């Protein structure tokens, strides 16, 4: 972290996989929430979005170990001490620039990813007690499936709170700290003080073949899980 600098330089931070992951997730999440609330025939689309979210989030969790420098968990999960210190300084004057996710944002990212993964996994075991069951509901008792559906409803609300906090934090950076993190999530480039920009320029790049291979493998894995009862009766 570095104190404000007047001469900011644009440097690459978010690899293409992180960016595609993020904006696809946003579109799918919005569609999943709307179709989940609407219910009825829309639930088919809800389930499809859920499978896609499961794929994306599983990919992102693996990418957190093998992706570009700033996609890695080791680059943005810091100690509670550092996180608290950052949180305190965030509400002060001036601005601490960070190349990747800031310490507070980093923990929020992990919370979002784990809650989304749990929500999508629970979805596989749901039973709406009318006409829809998740593909794996038959492997648990009906009582368990109904209990899981109750948790699925609650986690849906928890996720909405997390997303609200997440978007509020991004807007806080935009309007109060005058740092446009949204543009960076589209272009992959952040405006940084020269020292941090140099650090970002020299950081480990993402491997495109590896990213594609992991993505294809995760698609295959989720496809097998979702179709398990049909293919392996
Ligand atoms: C239009 C609404 C949204 C905007 C403008 C937005 C913006 C952003 C921005 C700017 C970042 C990077 C933050 C940073 O620089 O540290 C980010 C990261 C992230 N956002 Fe969002 N976001 C939105 C909605 C969502 C939703 C709905 C979800 C999940 C349901 C979500 C999940 C995430 C995750 C998981 C990351 C971490 C990205 C990564 O490291 O792969 N966002 N978002
Ligand atoms: C991360 C992905 C998911 C999110 C964010 C999500 C979110 C939601 C939300 C917000 C609702 C409406 C709850 C309410 O009305 O209070 C819902 C309902 C439902 N979801 Fe999901 N869901 C996801 C994944 C899945 C998956 C993968 C499946 C099944 C394959 C699934 C099956 C269902 C069913 C069957 C309902 C209707 C339950 C009922 O009416 O009692 N969901 N979900």
pLDDT class of 96 with cuts at 50, 70, 90: confident
Q: Is 2 among the domain residues?
A: no
Task: Specify if 72 maps to a domain.
Answer: yes
pLDDT of residue 5 exceeding 80, the answer is no
On whether residue 19 sits in a domain, the answer given is yes
Selected residue with higher pLDDT from 109 and 129: 109
**Euclidean distance between CA atoms 83 and 102, whole angstroms:** 8
Mean pLDDT of the chain: 95
Looking up residue 66, the CATH number of its domain turns out to be: 1.20.950.20
- Give per-residue pLDDT as tens, 24-40: 999 999 999 999 999 99
Question: CB of 9 within 8 A of CB of 16?
Answer: no
Question: Where in the sequence is the domain holding 43, given as residue range(s)?
Answer: 8-231
Determine the distance from the C-alpha atom of residue 139 to the mean position of all C-alpha atoms in its chain, rounded to a whole number. Answer: 28
- How many domains is the chain built from? 1
Q: Could you tell me which residues are beta bridge partners of residue 11?
A: 190
Grade residue 6 by pLDDT with cuts at 50, 70 and 90: low
The backbone torsions φ and ψ at residue 41, rounded to the nearest 5 degrees and listed phi first, read -65, -25
135 alpha carbon, closest ligand: 2
- 102 within a domain of the structure (yes/no): yes
Neighbours of 186 (CB within 10 A): 12
Determine, yes or no, domain membership for 1. no
| Ligand 2 atom closest to 29 (CA) | 5
Atom in ligand 1 nearest the alpha carbon of residue 18: 41
Which residues are near ligand 2 (CB < 6 Å)? 29, 32-33, 36-37, 39, 43, 46-47, 50-51, 53, 116, 119-120, 123-124, 126, 128, 132, 134, 149, 152-153, 156, 159
């Amino acid at each position: 972290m570095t104190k404000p600098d007047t001469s900011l330089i644009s440097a690459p931070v978010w690899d293409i996989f992180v960016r595609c992951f993020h904006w696809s997730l946003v579109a799918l999440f919005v569609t999943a929430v709307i179709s989940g609330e609407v219910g009825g025939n829309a639930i088919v689309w809800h389930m499809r979005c859920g499978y896609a979210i499961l794929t994306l989030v599983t990919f992102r969790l693996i990418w957190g170990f093998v992706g570009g420098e700033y996609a890695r968990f080791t680059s943005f999960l810091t100690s509670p001490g550092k996180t608290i210190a950052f949180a305190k300084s965030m509400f002060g004057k001036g601005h601490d620039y960070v190349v990747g996710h800031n310490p507070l944002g980093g923990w929020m990212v992990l919370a979002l990813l784990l809650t989304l993964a749990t929500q999508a996994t629970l979805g596989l075991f749901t039973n709406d007690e009318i006409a829809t069951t998740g593909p794996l509901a038959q492997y648990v008792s009906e009582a368990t499936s109904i209990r899981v559906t109750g948790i699925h409803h609650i986690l849906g609300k928890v996720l909405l709170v997390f997303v609200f906090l997440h978007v509020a934090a991004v807007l806080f950076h935009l309007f109060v700290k005058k740092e446009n993190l949204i543009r960076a999530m589209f272009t992959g480039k952040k405006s940084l003080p020269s020292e941090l920009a140099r650090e970002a320029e020299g950081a480990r790049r993402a491997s495109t073949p590896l990213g594609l291979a992991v993505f294809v493998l995760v698609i295959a894995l989720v496809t097998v899980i979702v179709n398990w009862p049909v293919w392996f009766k």
